[in-house]
Amino acid sequence: MMDRVRVAVIGAGGLANREHYPALASFDDVDLVGACDLDEERVNATADRFGIAARFTDYRTMIEQTAPNAVYVVLRPHHAHDPAVFCLRTNLHVFIEKPPGVTAFQTRSLARLAEKNACLTMVGLNRRYSPLLNAAREIVLSRGPMIQCVAAQYMHSPALYYEGAVDILHCHGIHYLDTLRWLGGDVTDLASDVKRIGGAHENCWTALMQHEGGCTGVLVANWQAGGSRPYTFEMHGPGVSVYTHLSGDSQVWIEGERDPDALSQFPVTSPEQPQAYFGFREENRRFIDCIRTGEQPETSLTEAARSMALADRIYASRF
């Protein structure tokens, strides 16, 4: 087992600074050996904050000079592909934020390259690592199979992600599709409705899915809703229902009665920690553990490619 993991990070933007650098810096078995960003002022500020001596504006130079075991690629999706390819060709383990490609094809290509070079990979599909969602899932499965699962997101966000570089369903909706696959299994059949409301691109998706094993999954995502209620998931089994919200307000019902203590270990988050339930810290911990043990993470590029392909199917199966 590897005792310590040398990690270099490509990207010094908001998400990297809010979630990934703090988590990695807090782990006793991680050495942050390099930080890289095209913006020199930004990378210096990040490196100063987290005590990283080596900072770069060219990721190739960083990798050559710091000899990491793993590289984090935390960039916008249309900027991440080439750095990820370089790292995988250099036989480095790679964490890449979601989506791991602008298209499912890009994701499959990265997955094949990772397999060819025996690289461990993780995509930032952190809902699978959320302690709250894992506890909710276990409550349902302890009473029998998952019968229904629902993922819903309502946003009022008319502007398109990244000015059209990638569509919303593949970019942000991939969280919901991957979580539904995790809860219900792979999708065997589906029907969908895709709408474009008041804009040039699709911004409203509804899908009814049949999962292997008999679970029914439902996706409702609307970026032209009147208000925002993101990150809600429902899980239903025999005589049990769990309604979760990743900013709190979760409920467990068993045989017609609410159980107020079932999720008592997850109190409502404070305003200072609005994303404590999302699984960011836990996914980082899991990736480091997998590198140390040589185990492929649950949200590898190969697995993420299946969720990206599900987004393709939703567009192809529209009414």
DSSP code per residue over 95-132: EEPSSSSSSHHHHHHHHHHHHHTT--EEE--GGGG-HH
Segment 292-305, tens digit of pLDDT: 999 999 999 999 99
Tell me the pLDDT tens digit for each residue of 11-65: 999 999 999 999 999 999 999 999 999 999 999 999 999 999 999 999 999 999 9
Output the pTM of the full model. Answer: 0.95
pLDDT over 70 for what percent of the chain?
96
Pick from 245, 181, 191, 174: nearest CA to 215? 181
Whole-number Å distance between alpha carbons of 253 and 273: 26
DSSP run (H or E) holding 85: helix 77-89
The yes or no reply on domain 129-277+306-316 and CATH 3.30.360.10 is yes
Query: What pLDDT, in 10s, does the model give residues 265-312?
Result: 776 555 556 567 899 999 999 999 999 999 999 999 999 999 999 999
Integer Rg of the chain from CA: 20
For domain 5-127+283-298, the question of CATH label 3.40.50.970 is answered with no
The rounded percent of the chain whose pLDDT value lies above 90 is 85
Which tens digits make up the pLDDT trace of 97-130? Answer: 999 999 999 999 999 999 999 999 999 999 999 9
Is residue 142 pLDDT above 80, yes or no? Answer: yes
For 228-277, the three-class secondary structure string (H helix, E strand, C coil) is EEEEEEEEEECCEEEEEEECECCEEEECCEECCCCCCCCCCCCCCCCCCC
Provide the residue ranges of all domains of the chain, joining segments of one domain with +.
Answer: 5-127+283-298, 129-277+306-316
Q: pLDDT tens across 171-226, in order? A: 999 999 999 999 999 999 999 999 999 878 899 999 999 999 899 999 999 999 99
Closest C-alpha among 229, 236, 232 to residue 250 = 232
Q: Is the pLDDT of residue 236 over 70?
A: yes
DSSP string, 16-32: IIIIIHHHHHH-TTEEE
